[in-house]
Amino acid sequence: MSETPEVVARAGQESVAAEAEAETITEPAKVMRIGSMVKQLLDEAHATALDEPSRERMAEIYERSIIELSDALSPDLQEELRMLALPFHEGSVPTEAELRVAKAQLVGWLEGLFHGIQATLFAQQIAARQQLEQMRQLPGAVNQPSPGAPNGQYL
């Protein structure tokens, strides 16, 4: 009869797990696509002068991007994005400077979100490694040969 080791979260890991569950992205590919599009639009806005119809279209794309991003985020991240991405003034076309600031702010927030995802994944990998090492040290655990050591099967 073999027992399956129980994976136990160490002190402090519960809060990390709860935070990770609270701040989730339901559609990461969608967030990445929108982030890339917004970054490209920001680059275009810096590279060329925008006339009024172009600025109006950029404002529409920006506002639609916020809506689409919100759909792919957890409620707490939606709230954070909503507080950060303030709408343009109703009835007026934003200036080039307003568009650049809004898009740069959104790109910065998305980059922070991506860094947070990377940090969470890194922390999860470290926790998994630590749990694996702890399981290997349990009585009756199979010791793994060290890298480069002969495995004993010679013909």
Per-residue pLDDT of 83-102, as tens digits, reads 988 888 888 899 998 998 99
* Burial status of residue 10 (CB atoms within 10 A of its CB: 0-12, 13-18, 19 or more): exposed
Q: What is the rounded (10 degree) CA torsion for 67, 98, 83, 91?
A: -70
Selected residue with higher pLDDT from 145 and 70: 70
Residues in Cβ contact with 28 at an 8 Å cutoff, skipping those fewer than 6 apart: 72, 117
Per-residue pLDDT of 48-83, as tens digits, reads 888 999 999 989 999 999 999 999 999 999 999 999
